[in-house]
A = this chain, B = another copy of it.
Amino acid sequence: MIRIIDGAKEMEKIEKILSRSQMDSKEVLQRVDEILEEVKQNGDEALLKFTQMYDKNGLTELKVTHEEIAKAKANIDENLKNAIINAIGNITNFHKKQIKEGFTINEGSDIMLGQMVMPIEKVGIYVPGGTASYPSTVMMNAIPANLAGVKEIIMTTPADRDGRIKDSVLVAADLLGVTQIYKVGGAQAIGALCYGTESITKVDKIVGPGNIFVAMAKHKVSGLVGIDMIAGPSEVVVIADKKANPRFIAADLIAQAEHDKRAASIVVTDCNILAKKIQEQISIQLKTLKRSEIAEEALSEYGAIILCANKDECFDIANSLAPEHLEILTDNPFEDYKKIKNAGAIFLGEYTPEPVGDYYAGPNHTLPTSRTARFSSALSVDDFYKKTSLLYYSKEALKKSANDIMLLADNEGLTGHANSIKVRMEEM
């Protein structure tokens, strides 16, 4: 069962809970190194070998065909398809506001400066397989990539034992114009996207969540290719006052906890009675759910109800935790959210539970975990751009600035830098 603890006394313990990492296995790291190296050397042959070894689906051809996509479109439940289309609309509307344009300063004069904004050329999206194979992963990654103008989006995802990919995943990919889809997962998929193989084009950036093999492989290849953040286990912090509904809060804590045995569900409240009621509600609701075992373990290992002396302390603690998801279930969430300095996403009021954001409302669900919201942000259109500075000085402009630049260069001990100005002055 979820613990009730004293906020003032146990902050360090709580920060440790949120700082938990999954990146500490040497054996996994070594295996990942081997897989990456073999994919780099042997290309498709290695991909087929590891796919057989791990996914056991006997595939000899990894590319998803037009026929498979057509079948998925024919098979999918009409209501589910509409839900996907509505979600795509909402997510697109939100991310459109993140579209960025370049700028220039002083165009046409002696000095022109600027910043060009260009899409990354090729992007790989990793979509996990098995129970965690989500159409929302496709949407949350492909939509911002599309809006940035990325021309080639290559998706990889492991197929099931029958060699199939979920209809909803294929339909979402098709609706979003994903260029190519390959049935390959794990570190081998990351290797293929980074190094390229005979059949899979190498990309400039890899995004998308995955298990520890995928996370470590992304970490390993980062620098050769760009990567998005490497997410830790998911987490929610709920700030609740005495009027908050314990039934809703319990449901939201469980929703978070069912993701993963290491997910963290935390309440911060100044109301002791509410704390007890939340515990009761969790017991009642857990009984009815598919993944209750996972949720129960997560709640007792990484869950906590933190009791605070007053409302201000609740917000101080939430800011220090810098959670991925923050729900504000107080009297006046529209005022209270202004006190938040560190959070990935904030959910306001009792009718905005986190799943509204996971699938549907519009903002991205790829969010900074493990207290990194202190310095990082949700995935956005910006993650699919690169920006290039532009500089132009005319002869006249250089002449005017030459002394300043040479003084600075000499002060820094770089006479070759000063020389590059000097040779130009001498030819004037």
Contacts and interface: CB of A to CB of B under 8 A. Distances in A.
Contact of A423 (B98, B247, B420): B247
Interface stretch (A2-10, A157-165, A305-313, A367-375): A367-375
Total copies of this chain within the assembly? 2
A415 B251 CA distance: 11
Contacts of A285: 419, 423
Q: Give the most central of A115, A230, A247: most B CB within 10 Å.
A: A115
Interface in A238-255: 245, 247-248, 251-252, 254-255
Contacts of A29: none
Nearest to A122: B374
A97 B87 contact: no
Given A204-B374, A392-B348, A416 B295 contact: yes
A226 B416 contact: no
A51 interface: no
Given A346-B390, A392-B349, A408-B359, A420 B248 contact: yes
B416 A257 contact: yes
Contact of A389 (B258, B357, B375): B357
A11 to B, nearest CB: 15
Interface stretch (A31-39, A182-190, A380-388): A380-388
Given A105-B97, A344-B388, A411-B80, A251 B405 contact: no
Q: Give the most central of A347, A358, A404: most B CB within 10 Å.
A: A404
A218 interface: no
Q: Give the most central of A93, A113, A168, A397: most B CB within 10 Å.
A: A113
B111 A248 contact: no
A361 interface: yes
Contact of A204 (B97, B134, B247, B375): B375
Contacts of A394: 349, 351
A398 B352 contact: yes
A223 B357 contact: no
Interface stretch (A41-49, A60-68, A266-274, A335-343): A335-343
A290 interface: yes
A341 B121 contact: yes
A362 interface: yes
Nearest to A398: B351
B423 A248 contact: yes
Using C-beta atoms within 8 Å of the partner chain, give the interface range for chain A: 35 or more
Nearest to A117: B377
A353 interface: yes
B254 A353 contact: no
A332 interface: no
Given A251-B423, A352-B391, A423-B285, A375 B225 contact: yes
Q: Give the most central of A133, A254, A342, A359: most B CB within 10 Å.
A: A359
Interface in A79-101: 79-80, 82-84, 86-87, 93-94, 97-98
15 contacts: A19-B224, A94-B105, A115-B363, A131-B413, A135-B408, A205-B375, A226-B374, A248-B423, A285-B423, A288-B419, A345-B388, A350-B424, A351-B394, A356-B398, A358-B409
Q: List the 9 closest pairs (A to B, CB-CB), nearest first.
A: A226-B375, A363-B389, A258-B416, A83-B404, A345-B389, A377-B387, A348-B392, A251-B420, A355-B417
Interface of A: 19, 21, 77, 79-80, 82-84, 86-87, 93-94, 97-98, 103, 105, 111-113, 115, 118, 120-121, 131-136, 168, 204-205, 223-226, 230, 245, 247-248, 251-252, 254-255, 257-259, 285, 288-292, 295, 333-334, 337, 340-364, 367-368, 370, 372-378, 380, 382, 385-395, 397-398, 401, 403-405, 407-409, 411-424, 427
